[in-house]
Chains A and B, each alone.
Chain A
């Protein structure tokens, strides 16, 4: 039974955006801080740190989850995707990211990374969501400046484009 002592740092390994990564973490370190401070993946933002705001949402083993409600040591061996993994290639945004730009669905951008990760995951499992379904799903995120209208418009537009040409990402 592995026991990781409180005062020491322990090696945590997982797959981040398709690449094997490892770094050191105390047992109490949150996955948010591990991503940002140990791995330098600062695309994931830290908001409320108790699971309410959604800014830190990443994909853990294929489903969207709060990285602030996960310990780095719990993520050992997992497959994690963050906003850095969305663009299909350098210099080209994903269909969803492009829709956000087109619809002005971000202003300050603080909540955006989490919303993108949630929607990216959702649109893969629900390619033809109703507006009501999307609203409910977006309820897991708080945006304080853009407003949800352009975010909804971007999500619906991205869903439509992805249905029309499913090979796009």
Chain B
């Protein structure tokens, strides 16, 4: 359980990180907090030739309001976001979900963007980014582009990021007036990866439910103002459409049942806290 050999580059600015990615492509891996890359390195699930540390790049740090969005830089650790004074007001879903991300002892180092880059199907942060219609800011030597969370998560631990691209930041829309949010998760222990996690956003007559842990990527479903049996039926159809997987933690059937029940509870919770 020791990583294979790699060169280590400590990038001093974004241009240096771009240069390393341009020169080495898929042989290079970005390390920020390291809480997902380090286990992958130690288990030799990835064997990059170069590891590029971006935590010394000042421009990647900071949480800032930017128009209707909150922009979270690639260097922002999960604990830093959790302690950010504006979190409950502007990003109530993340305020509810972040305590479920790993443990305090890993949130202290792990970054928000790092979790998005890793794209574990059970992870809470990708799920919230999808539910909130967040946008990833990607950049390379060749230019910049923005990708919505819905387009970014393309498969299990697979994203739309090209080999030469750096995630510079994620932009998350601020809570609009009147919206309600809720997050729930079921796992064997608090801090473990979710067997199923649900995030709901309710605003006026719209309700969206995002579900993680069930399929290869988090999935989003619009449920409008449905209630009663109609809502149950819609959730049942959603659960069946998810292509749930069996693994040693739970069967596909069990996951579908969690989508039906926890999904409904999460939606009701989000609707009840609309202000």
How far does the alpha carbon of A66 sit from the alpha carbon of B106 in the complex, in Å? 7
User: In the complex, A66→B105 CA distance in Å?
Assistant: 7
B79 at the interface (CB under 8 A from A): yes
Residue B232 at the chain A interface, CB threshold 8 Å = no
Q: Mark A45-63, 1 if CB is under 8 A from B, else 0.
A: 0000111001001001001
> Is the CB–CB distance between A3 and B38 below 8 Å?
no
A11 within 8 A of B: no
Nearest Cβ on chain A to B60's Cβ, whole angstroms: 15
On chain A, the number of residues with a Cβ less than 8 Å from chain B's Cβ atoms is: 35
**A-B CB pair tally, cutoff 8 Å:** 113
State which residues 29-67 of B face A: CB under 8 Å. 31, 34-35, 38-39, 41-43, 49, 51, 53, 55
Q: Give the bracket for the number of chain B residues in contact with chain A.
A: 35 or more
Q: Do B42 and A30 touch across chains, with their CB atoms under 8 A apart?
A: yes
Q: Chain B contacts of A141 at CB under 8 A?
A: 105
Docked pose: A140 CA to B106 CA in angstroms? 8
A156 → chain B, closest Cβ, in Å?
A: 18
The chain A residue sitting closest to B13, CB to CB, is A1
Contact string, A67-81, partner B, CB cutoff 8 A, digits 1/0?
011110110000000
Q: Is the CB of B38 within 8 A of A4?
A: no
The reply on A139 being an interface residue by CB < 8 A is yes
Q: A27 in the interface, Cβ–Cβ < 8 Å? A: yes
Shortest CB-to-CB span from A100 to chain B, Å, is 18
B window 177-235: CB within 8 A of A: 189-191
Whether A28 lies near B4 (C-beta < 8 A) is yes
Q: Which of B8, B11, B191 contacts A140 (CB 8 A)?
A: B191
Contacts of B16 in A (CB 8 A): 1
The answer on a CB contact under 8 Å between B189 and A74 is no
The interface bits of chain B over 98-110 (1 if a CB of A lies within 8 angstroms of the residue's CB, else 0) are 0100111110110
User: Using Cβ atoms and an 8 Å threshold, which residues of chain A touch B104?
Assistant: 64, 118, 122, 137, 140
List, in ascending order, chain A residues with CB within 8 A of B9's CB. 1-4
Q: Which A residues form the contact surface with B (CB < 8 A)?
A: 1-7, 26-28, 30, 33, 49-51, 54, 57, 60, 63-66, 68-71, 73-74, 118, 122, 136-137, 139-141
The 5 A-B pairs at the shortest CB distance, nearest first, are namely A140-B103, A27-B8, A50-B39, A6-B5, A63-B108
29 contacts between A and B (CB under 8 A): A1-B20, A2-B10, A4-B8, A5-B7, A6-B5, A7-B5, A27-B8, A28-B2, A50-B1, A50-B39, A50-B43, A54-B103, A60-B108, A60-B109, A63-B79, A64-B108, A65-B105, A68-B38, A69-B106, A70-B38, A70-B109, A71-B51, A74-B31, A74-B34, A74-B53, A74-B55, A118-B105, A140-B103, A140-B104
